[in-house]
Amino acid sequence: MHRAHEFRRGPRVQSHPVDDFDFSPHHGANIDAVAPVTSSATSHTPVAAQYVVTFLKPEMLHIYRQITALRAFRPVVFCQKREHAAEFPFGEIVVLPKPRTHPLRRFVQKQLLDRPITIYRSEARRILAALEQSRARLLHVYFGHIGVHLLPLLEICPLPVIVSFHGADAQIDLHKPAHLARTRRMLECATLLLVRSRSLADRLVALGAAREKIRLHRTGIPLDEIPFAQRTAPTDGAWHCVQAGRLIAKKGIATTLRAFAEFAREFPHATLTIAGEGPQLAELQALAAALALGGRVSFTGFLSQEKLRALCATAHLFLHPSELGPDGNQEGVPNAMLEAMAGGLPVVATRHGGIPEAVEHGVSGLLTAERDAPALAQSLSALARDPARYAAMSAAASARVAAEFSLSTQARVLEAIYREVAAAT
């Protein structure tokens, strides 16, 4: 039987509603032996369990930053797989047993009934036992579809459960009745729901979430690691444009290429660098060739954080014309875009997802409609022709990120949210 969370509001905190390790072997958990992260947390600090299926994929750096920035709570990571330990060292990790898979059940659920796969109730009980032994005060599940996967756990968990949404996890497959039904059940079971943008909060409400359950928690950017550099227009017209992200439909890179082709006719010394990898690489390279862009466009593949920052340090403009993907995939607020802005890069992007909540049109960047390459090209040219406006946008972009997306500020916001739910238990 479902044990409903009786969530009561505690004292007023600074979280923001979006209206305006000794584990016993028989539990199957083990601590991954890596160097601990330095933290001010002690054994007396309340434990906040963090559920991340794979800890950690390179593109989830923002989650690592968020977890390791906690001070008032001691994070203990629960995962099914440990990856990239050298890049993401962490002291307290519980690697759960691999979930049982029954081929026939999986075939029936996924192929015949078209339902999302959930864990067995026996697995939910084992996870719950591990949570109890960790003395966790709450469970934070990363990504909405993972919350659905853990639905049997959410239905019996006596701890407050927070599920955070990042963008695509509030879109993909939700046109399917079974997926929508289980997602709505997960939204009901969760104590609180975190979103990266107000547009994402509206999406959850449309799916059936109670708005009073939703809290806005922005992506945190480590400002101390990204020096601001005031940008000035190149006197020789050699504008260097950059876009970074996975090479998938929602990133709008085909629109970028078409817009850049128009822009380069006016500024023939301009160049474009596209950083990232993904399934559209061959298609995008073919489009660049068809547009006769030649050596003016380069595809670098995936870049490390250091190399991407070095690339942005040499750039003049950051492009991010995101669009709704054919599978319903939508952005929250793109992390690469925020980092570029923090370093002083003006952005030319689209009115898509949470982007307008970061880029103030005409102040810290320019926004156009989705899939409108001519409008994107006109925005690039407008900035290139107005050096004073371009320089002002450079300073405004950095100031915007500092005001709304600082990692230290967002870590304190998350801690306030944790206190809110912990006080109600």
pLDDT given at position 296: 98
Tell me, what DSSP letter sits at residue 100?
P
Q: How far is CA 249 from CA 9, 167, 369, in A?
A: 41, 14, 16
Contact 201, 144 (CB under 8 A): no
pLDDT given at position 13: 36
pLDDT given at position 11: 32
* Distance (Å, whole) CA 162 – CA 118: 18
pLDDT given at position 5: 40
Q: How far is CA 361 from CA 221, 228, 245, 311, 343, in A?
A: 21, 20, 22, 24, 18
Whether 25-219+407-422 and 223-404 share one fold: the answer is: yes
pLDDT given at position 96: 94
Contact 325, 253 (CB under 8 A): no
Superfamily assignment of 25-219+407-422 in CATH? Answer: Glycogen Phosphorylase B; (3.40.50.2000)
**Domain boundaries defined on the chain:** 25-219+407-422, 223-404
Neighbour-count burial for 18-55, b at 16+ CB within 10 Å, e otherwise: beeeebeeebbbeebeeeebebebeeebebbbbbbbeb
pLDDT given at position 103: 63
Largest pairwise CA distance in the chain = 70
pLDDT given at position 4: 39
Tokens 């879109």 sit on residue:
171
For the chain, the residue count is 425
pLDDT given at position 330: 84
pLDDT given at position 310: 97
Question: For residue 321, which of 281, 362, 356, 363 has the smallest C-alpha distance?
Answer: 356
Question: Quick one: angle between helices 387-404 and 373-384, nearest 10?
Answer: 110
pLDDT given at position 232: 97
pLDDT given at position 275: 98
pLDDT given at position 373: 99
The yes/no answer on whether domain 223-404 falls in CATH 1.10.760.10 is no
Two tokens, residue 169: 């996890």
pLDDT (tens place) for every residue of the chain, 425 residues total: 334 344 433 333 344 455 442 232 223 333 333 333 444 556 689 999 999 999 999 889 999 999 999 999 999 999 999 999 999 999 999 999 876 666 655 555 555 556 788 999 999 999 999 999 999 999 999 999 999 999 999 999 999 999 999 977 777 777 788 889 999 999 999 999 999 999 999 999 999 999 999 999 999 999 999 999 999 999 999 999 999 999 999 999 999 999 999 999 999 999 999 999 999 999 999 999 999 998 999 999 999 999 999 999 999 999 999 999 888 788 889 999 999 999 999 999 999 999 999 999 999 999 999 999 999 999 999 999 999 999 999 999 999 999 999 999 999 999 999 999 999 87
